[in-house]
């Protein structure tokens, strides 16, 4: 996997987390606190700064946001405004 592809997938995941978080009406802080994560971790996930995370953490986020984990890999969110 190339660096640009790696960067892209983290960007896609972050944008999708943000999308589903907002659909649930949650702030970054509320999501972070509900999962015992730091605010800065969630902020980095949603930013253009690549932030690695485990599949276990992604699964916890998906459950909290009531979204299928696979939806975080949907690149179509990149085309949305």
When pLDDT is cut at 50, 70 and 90, the band that residue 1 belongs to is very low
* Number of separate domains in the chain: 1
pLDDT digits (tens, 9 = 90+) for 11-25: 999 999 999 999 999
pTM of the model: 0.85
pLDDT digits (tens, 9 = 90+) for 50-73: 788 999 999 999 999 999 999 999
- Would you say residue 72 lies in a domain? no
| First vs last C-alpha separation in the chain | 27
HSE value, Cβ hemisphere, 13 Å, CA-based, for 30:
9
Identify the domain containing residue 53 by its residue range. 3-67
- CATH number, domain of 37, equals 1.10.260.40
3-state DSSP assignment of residue 27 = coil
pLDDT at position 6 over 70: no
- Would you say residue 7 lies in a domain? yes
CB neighbours of residue 10 within 10 Å:
19
**Residue 63: closest CA among 40, 31, 28:** 31
**Residue 18: closest CA among 50, 61, 56:** 61
């Amino acid at each position: 996997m190339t660096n640009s592809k790696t960067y892209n997938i983290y960007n896609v995941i972050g944008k999708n987390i943000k999308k589903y978080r907002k659909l649930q009406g949650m702030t970054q802080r509320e999501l972070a606190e509900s999962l015992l994560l730091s605010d800065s971790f969630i902020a980095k996930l949603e930013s253009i700064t690549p932030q690695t995370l485990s599949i276990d953490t992604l699964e916890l986020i998906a459950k909290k946001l009531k979204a299928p984990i696979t939806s975080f890999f949907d690149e179509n969110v990149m085309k949305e405004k």
